[in-house]
Amino acid sequence: MTVLHATPALWVTLHHMAQAPRYNRWLIHLMRPFVGRRVLDVGCGVGTFVPMYQNAELAVALDATPALVEEARRRWGHHAHVRFLVGDITHPETVQALRRYGFDTVLLINVLEHIEEERTALEHLTVLLEPGGCLIVYVPAQPSLFGRLDEGLGHRRRYTRRGLQRLLGGAGLEVVLCRPVNMLGILGWWWDNMLRRYEAIPLWQVRLFDVLVPLWQPVEEGIRRFWSGLPGLSLLCVGRKPAVKGGTISI
């Protein structure tokens, strides 16, 4: 499997971040304008972002780790329009099995950094999108911050804005948004990674950060209106598949 299965530190962190409702609502607020009616959630984890597409016509929550898919199903299986599947998006068999759904939205939230063959994954996801559909990518930023915490979480890399835009463009997508998110998180990550050298994000810190989000969010958004280069711990990038197909990708 080319998608890294959940390490112990990643498993712990996924559960901790699921307990950050204010932060998750912030991300949902930023992403929701690009979410359509037929959604593929790649690397769904424990289903943290199911609320973002709870009003969709159909959604497929996909993960390479069977235990995570089972947990997501236990939490959200009461939503009849959501299907829970195990699969690796870099495998052609998984792509073929998903093509029949006709997705207009693909979510890739804190997943691309785990995938060795990132270009293959993006090409496959572009194939799965209907013309005019959107790929929503959320990844860790600031390569200079890469350290033990990244390694513990199974990260292979952190991204720059230019590098991420180039990746999406290379997959045949038109980049309609690419912006840093969460400047405040840089301080916490630096503390955990460089000073404390944690391998997982501690729950107390997640809860403290979540309390601060409503105070910090309007400040960051206000600053960003005047300084688009404000750095962030993560990058949010949205690529749209051209309405007129310019070519095909073989699977």
pLDDT at 5: 60
- The single residue listed with the structure tokens 């929503």 is 136
pLDDT at 47 over 90: yes
pLDDT tens across 109-138, in order? Answer: 999 999 999 999 999 999 999 999 999 999
Phi first, then psi, for residue 87 (nearest 5°) are: -175, 160
pLDDT at 250 over 50: no
- In which band, very low, low, confident or very high, does the pLDDT at 249 lie, cut at 50, 70 and 90? very low
Domain count, the chain: 1
pLDDT over 70 for what percent of the chain?
93
β-pairing verdict for 82-86 and 58-63: parallel
For residue 3, being part of any structural domain is answered with no
For residue 251, being part of any structural domain is answered with no
For residue 160, being part of any structural domain is answered with yes
* Domain housing 113: 8-240
pLDDT at 95: 95
- Any idea of the CA torsion for 9, 21, 26, 89, to the nearest 10 degrees? 40
pLDDT at 248 over 50: no
Name the 3-class secondary structure at 124: helix
For residue 30, being part of any structural domain is answered with yes
The answer to whether 14 and 200 are in contact (CB under 8 A) is no
pLDDT at 247: 44
pLDDT at 237: 98
For residue 246, being part of any structural domain is answered with no
pLDDT tens across 189-220, in order? Answer: 888 776 666 778 888 889 999 999 999 999 99
CA distance 173 to 249: 13
Name the 3-class secondary structure at 46: coil
pLDDT at 123: 96
For residue 110, being part of any structural domain is answered with yes
CA distance 89 to 93: 9
Interacting residues of 100 by C-beta distance below 8 A, sequence separation 6+: none
pLDDT at 202: 84
What are the DSSP calls for 158-203, one per residue?
-B-HHHHHHHHHHTT-EEEEEEEE-SHHHHHHHIIIIII--SS--H
pLDDT at 152: 87
Query: Which CATH number goes with the domain that contains 179?
Result: 3.40.50.150
Instruction: Over range 57-63, report the average pLDDT.
Output: 97
The answer to whether 139 and 112 are in contact (CB under 8 A) is yes
> Residues in the chain, how many?
251
pLDDT tens across 84-95, in order? Answer: 999 999 999 999
